[in-house]
A and B are shown apart, each in its own frame.
Chain A
Amino acid sequence: MQNPHDAIRLVDRFRYRENLEIEKYVLPNGLTVLYWPDFSAPLFSFQSWFRVGSRHEVKGRTGIAHLFEHLMFKGTKNHPEGDFDRILESFGGRNNAATWLDWTYFYDDVPAGFLNEVMALEADRLVNMSLCPEEVEPERQVVMNERRERVDNDPSGRLSELLWQKALGDHPYAHPTIGWMEDIAAISLENCVDFHRTWYSPNQLVLSIAGAVTREELFDGLLKYYAPIPASKPGFAPELQQTPPARSATYEERFPLTCERLLMGYSAPSVTDPLYPALEVLNELLFEGDSARLQRALCTDGEIAGEISAYVPAFKAGGLYEICSELRPDHHAEEALDVLFKAFEQICREKPAQSELDKAKNKLESRFYRGLQTMQQRAQGLGFYEVTAGDYHRLFELAKSYSEVTLDDLQAVAQRVLNPNARTIVIGRPSGEPACEEEEA
């Protein structure tokens, strides 16, 4: 007699180190499953990574991927609104979700022994959502408030939104994941139902499970809850192009600020690009830690800025390498730009010292280990790279690649990314003075 588990096909087994092995399975309906068993603590993380993010949205309906992430916590045909969280919390679980350019993911961190319950809930909301206006409207208000909090009333959020919009033109990464306010207001119930039907199906999904889960209980749950769900026709998405060179321009906004803020973006390589690890090493050397070149030049010694930081994006199609600085009072963004440009010219012209490279590699190695401590981090690492890079191995390859980066690689990536003719700059400058008085009630 055939074993029902045979329907779950092992496609890959990866041994990273002793007692640390990852398995990848595929079900006939296209569902991908990543499994990292670890019984060192009585808990596990169960994550659902959908291959849909804000880059799949159409004009006039930006924000729907994120709004829908919120709506996934509403009622289904089997569970009224609130049940999902109540059931998970009743056995000590915690959950949340996030949406970004390339993906939407949901996590459930749960004590061991509750896998069956979690899979029942997750598979249920994959197919049985029962959206109604009474649930959508308050959630739309919540999302609008989230936008007010993270963007409209936060200068960093507003500058970041402006940067991506201006730098990337019509690219699907250009609009904000949270959506434009007028689009959030305009999304209809029908749009949401369509979105769910199009993108929330097993062939668009990667399950990533790390922790105290046996293979047998995982397989039982997959067969019982996920295998019966049919695959759907993938939604239409135009072929994703690499982000173009950032538009060469400078923009200014005024806010009630006490000091200026600067944000600058360069087009970055994709997370799968061979030069990507070199950019991470370069970033370390330039910006990370007290001894980094620009920490000293701008903050500690230069005393022009209070903060300088940079962010290497990890996206399928590149995105923007963002450099952000908060100026000190009485200093201007132009002073920081001058220092930054000189430092970039230098790194493009002269190879750094071997000791700088070694230091950066050591720090990245340490950071890699720190990023794999909890079951949530592990499941997240696997799911993220499977969906974004098309292969979870990229998580471990990157860690290894840091040690192989050479001084030539650093110079090559600097010359490619830090292009003086392709950078977008946004500056936030102070405006307005409020009143001050006191009154008795």
Chain B
Amino acid sequence: MIVVENHGFPYAYLVLNFRFGPAFDPLGKEGLTSLTNRMLLRGTRRRSREAFEEAIESLGTEVNTATQSSSVSISSAILSRNLERFTQLLGEMLTEPLFSPEEFEKVKREMRAEQEAMLNDDSCLARIWLRKTLFPGHLLGRNAAGTPASLDAITLDDLIAHHRTYYTKSNLLVTSSGDVTQAHLEQLLQDAFKNLPEGEPTAWNLAPIAPIDGRQLWVIDKPERTQSQILVGHPAVQGNDPDLLALNLAFTGFGGTFTARLMQEVRVKRGWSYGAYARLVPERFGGFCILSAAPERDHTADCIALLLEEYERFAREGLSDDEIEFARNYLINAFPFKIETAAQKAALQTYYALMGMPEDTLDRYTDRLKAITPSALRRICKERLTPDQLTIVTVCEAEPLKDAFSQLKHIRKVNLRSYLDEK
């Protein structure tokens, strides 16, 4: 349990994190984790879905579920005067879920509709294709929302078994902040969660991730686009990697701020895109790096070429000494913003814990940043970044850009898909 107290206002945050993710969906049953998490809000053995919703929301709160790659969470902000009643309801939700066949089918229909709706959002579409092409054939490459076929294949028994296996005390990390004390919360949860099974901690022993076969360009064709979404990425560091901090420092200087190299080249010098960023996305298992921009359609191929050229230079040479110092100072000086509020501090500690980082990560953050030498940073960039093995995803109107794409250098394969292929 992670608790950060602040009694300034009479409310508290409470997040239940379970340490597993959609990578544990059985093959052909993608979407099971997300479906299970959502079904928790659909009533208990004591209350119908409607009665459960009323009971929760009459306390002035809403419960949100989220399925991330490294964990699933159930979160809420609650007026502290209602905390006791609320924890009882959470306990009921976790240990006595209704899992009715009617609600099961309803949630499936909801998820199918959402899958279709996602196709209308270009940046969301690009992110789905990025994950798919970063980890082809690997459990991590699957869409957490599933597919129409995989949702059809999931049975209520699958869901009940999934719940029994993963929603356990061993997998649970509770995070709370605000107008709450650890002793009081422990007492409340001990009572509310007494029937939660002990279980076994989830073992993240997934298959190793294969590198991408050269530079793969994925063109996701969507009509009537005057602008293109571009994402470039490759598998990189996972959350507990010893090189993570050095690479994070490098990506901050390369594309993490407004003055960083990538933003200067793409936006400030050329005016090609409203934003241009590069960042790391570490996960409990796996993780990747990502470059992004959204140029006008006619600049799409040029912008891809520029991103690749800049990334190659960054990977081979790293950053200059001045750039490293600037990024280091920025990260150190900006650190108070990461822990400004009790909720932010609790969330950061939770993130470190979910990633499997050492307990002193927060306390040693500044010292460890200061200890990274420019030569070590450049060596790590060279060793860990793979500018010749990456995926490039662009959601765009393909036809007018075909010739320009064929002119791009060092692309192993151009893969053209319709945006409706995910339907």
Contact = CB atoms under 8 A, between A and B. Distances in A.
Given A94-B337, A111-B336, A149-B227, A259 B258 contact: no
B223 A146 contact: no
B117 A307 contact: yes
Contacts of A355: 54, 58
Contact of A92 (B57, B267, B330): B330
Given A145-B273, A306-B113, A289 B57 contact: yes
A85 B341 CA distance: 25
Contacts of A139: 271
A373 B398 CA distance: 45
B414 to A, nearest CB: 5
B224 A373 contact: no
The interface residues of chain B, by DSSP majority, are classed as: mixed
A300 B106 contact: yes
A436 B221 contact: yes
A13 to B, nearest CB: 20
A279 interface: no
A309 to B, nearest CB: 13
Interface of A: 19-20, 40-43, 81-82, 85-86, 89-94, 109, 111, 137-142, 144-146, 148-149, 152-155, 255-259, 261, 288-291, 296, 299-300, 303, 306-307, 326, 328-329, 355, 358-359, 361-363, 365-366, 369-370, 372-375, 432-441
B58 A362 contact: yes
Nearest to A256: B223
Contacts of B264: 82
A89 B405 CA distance: 36
A192 to B, nearest CB: 16
B116 A258 contact: yes
Contact of A142 (B11, B59, B120, B267): B267
Contact of A439 (B57, B224, B412, B416): B416
Contact of B227 (A81, A109, A145, A363): A145
A432 B223 contact: yes
A89 B330 contact: yes
A206 B348 CA distance: 34
Contacts of A290: 41, 53, 56-57, 62
B227 A43 contact: no
Nearest to A96: B258
A142 B274 contact: yes
B54 A437 contact: no
Contacts of A92: 329-337
Given A41-B340, A436-B416, A439-B416, A359 B330 contact: no
A366 B330 contact: no
Interface in B119-172: 119-122
Contacts of A94: 334, 337
B242 interface: no
15 contacts: A85-B259, A138-B269, A139-B271, A145-B294, A153-B122, A256-B222, A303-B109, A361-B60, A366-B79, A369-B9, A374-B341, A436-B417, A436-B421, A437-B416, A440-B414
B223 A434 contact: yes
B78 A43 contact: no
Contacts of B406: 441
Given A89-B259, A149-B274, A153-B122, A363 B113 contact: no
A42 B398 CA distance: 50
B267 A306 contact: no
Contact of B340 (A93, A261, A326, A374): A374
Nearest to A355: B58
A365 B79 contact: yes
Interface string B246-269: 000000000001110000100111
Given A363-B60, A373-B343, A152 B336 contact: no
Given A145-B271, A363-B61, A432-B223, 4 more contacts: A148-B227, A255-B224, A432-B224, A441-B405
A124 B111 CA distance: 52
Nearest to B78: A366
A141 to B, nearest CB: 3
B109 to A, nearest CB: 6
Contacts of A93: 333-334
B45 interface: no
B415 interface: yes
Contacts of A362: 58-61, 79
A366 B11 contact: yes
Nearest to A181: B226
Contacts of B340: 41, 43, 374-375
